[in-house]
Structure 1
Amino acid sequence: MQPVRRRSLITQVTNQLREEIRSGRWPVGSRIPTESELAEIAGTGRNTIREAVQALVHAGLLERRQGSGTFVLASSEVGGTLGKFFASAEERDVMELRQSLDVTAARLAAQRRTDDDIRDLRTLLETRTVTWDTQDLRDAVAADVALHRGIVVASHNHIYLEFYDSLLPAIEAIVYKHSLATGATFHAEHAELVEAIIVGDTRRAVRAAQYFFDELRSEFSDEESEPTAEQQPASRVQPS
């Protein structure tokens, strides 16, 4: 009977961790407490915590990052499954899907934002600006994506948010690549987007949101226009 009881305990702890994620107390993109901290909170052994966390890793809700800790990837098993699918998707496809979500979310947020949303967006914008100027690029990108997610939250469309959360790892990868290549900060453009939402100007919010994808599209176009060795004139191809 002991293995049965132990498995039941692991299930209980797994469900408790899952509830922390679903409730939003552990938001998507955040790092969860360490195994030692979780064991102290739950009053269980570290082996039980480790197995419970691993169950949620398999479900796609959590991700272990070597040297950094364990992070929330999705708020539900559905989001976790979508996240695994998006992880292997083409960058262009992810960008075009994100464009549809971000631009529409900006318009909806300008219509539906609450006082709490306005406060949160201002905080997220300030955090993004400070982080981008003072910390490493990975942290800066995470703060950038958190701001855009905050706009989706302000749209008050829960299906949009579920879908967006499943895209976050893929979005972060694209933003990191673009930022590494260009070094652009886009502080003024993000401030314009947030301000448009705060004042409730839907057209202005849509234009501001669309701007970022125009920039990304130009980068993709530049990459496609670069000739391969087979496409270059014979005089430019180096002899083998």
Structure 2
Amino acid sequence: MTPLIKRSLVEQAVDQLRARIAEGAWSVGQRLPTEPELASDLGISRNTVREAMRVLAFSGLVEIRQGDGSYLRTAVDPLQAVQAMSRCAVEHARETRHILEAEAIGLAALRRTEADLQALREALHHSEQHFHGDVDTYVACDLVFHQRLVDAAHNPALSELYRYFSSVVGAALQHNMTTVPRCQVVFDLHGQILDALEQRDPQRAKHLSRTLIES
């Protein structure tokens, strides 16, 4: 990689990393080089590398595992699909969540495993710790919880669709949390959805999910 000199350093780092992925530098599922290694290759700071990796994770190319590193999720760049989703109207995004997320959660109530429930409890605990704190941190935690809800349906197609669509969910959530006072009652709906999954009650799970989407 050549040192970056023009445009935003983050933008250039993202472009170079996308190019290396397209060229097959890493295989799907492979752990990517560490931040110091990438920073040395690109001739930039670790902070810039970290921001670039967040962009790639947001677009679905990379999965960042806390404390473990970053892994290549797919070699097919979903950027165009994500960009198209990000331009959709608020009402269209809400309709899509009702169709995709609420129905997936209904399936999750029927198909969830004990491992799914444990992962959801952990994600909800992390969200609760940050609900009254930094917005970006909370949104990241909340998206993990919602993704795990959809993953508990054990339908890979639904999981992948929601993973791409979650960028729209995250943007809407971030906007709401910076313009409307945070409401504990709304957050508590997450725990109630988890309870419905534990009780294998798909109708209640879907109802609570729709209530949360409209909140």
Same fold (TM over 0.5): yes
- d(CA) in 2 for partners of 1:188 and 1:145? 15
Q: Does 1:70 align with 2:69?
A: no
2:174 corresponds to which residue?
176
Please give the per-residue CA displacement for 1:125-179, whole angstroms capped at 9, x wherever unaligned.
111101213x301111111121111101101111111111111222111011112
Q: Does 1:192 align with 2:192?
A: yes
- d(CA) in 2 for partners of 1:163 and 1:12? 21
Superposition pairs of residues 74-113 of structure 1, within 5 angstroms: 74=60, 75-76=73-74, 77=76, 79-113=78-112
- d(CA) in 1 for partners of 2:98 and 2:27? 30
Q: TM-score, normalised by structure 1?
A: 0.64
1:120 corresponds to which residue?
119
1:205 corresponds to which residue?
205
1:149 corresponds to which residue?
147
2:161 corresponds to which residue?
163
Residue type matched to 1:46 in 2? Answer: D
Q: Higher Cα Rg: structure 1 or 2?
A: 1
Where does structure 2 lack aligned partners over 5 or more consecutive residues? 1-18, 61-72
**How far did 1:187 drift?**
2.7
- d(CA) in 1 for partners of 2:96 and 2:48? 26
Are the aligned partners of 1:79 and 1:163 in contact in 2 as well (CA < 8 Å)?
no
2:136 corresponds to which residue?
138
How many residue pairs were aligned?
Answer: 177
- d(CA) in 2 for partners of 1:139 and 1:12? 27
Q: TM-score, normalised by structure 2?
A: 0.71
- d(CA) in 2 for partners of 1:139 and 1:99? 25
Are the aligned partners of 1:149 and 1:164 in contact in 2 as well (CA < 8 Å)?
yes
**How far did 1:104 drift?**
0.5
Match of 2:24 among 4, 15, 21: 15
Please give the per-residue CA displacement for 1:202-225, whole angstroms capped at 9, x wherever unaligned.
11111111111232xxxxxxxxxx
Are the aligned partners of 2:108 and 2:197 in contact in 1 as well (CA < 8 Å)?
yes
- d(CA) in 2 for partners of 1:82 and 1:13? 17
Change (3 A) 1:83 1:161: same
1:219 corresponds to which residue?
none
Change (3 A) 1:122 1:161: same
- d(CA) in 2 for partners of 1:157 and 1:145? 18
Are the aligned partners of 2:109 and 2:199 in contact in 1 as well (CA < 8 Å)?
yes
- d(CA) in 2 for partners of 1:33 and 1:99? 38
**How far did 1:69 drift?**
4.5
Please give the secondary structure, in 2, of the residue aligned with 1:155. coil
Give the % identical residues.
20
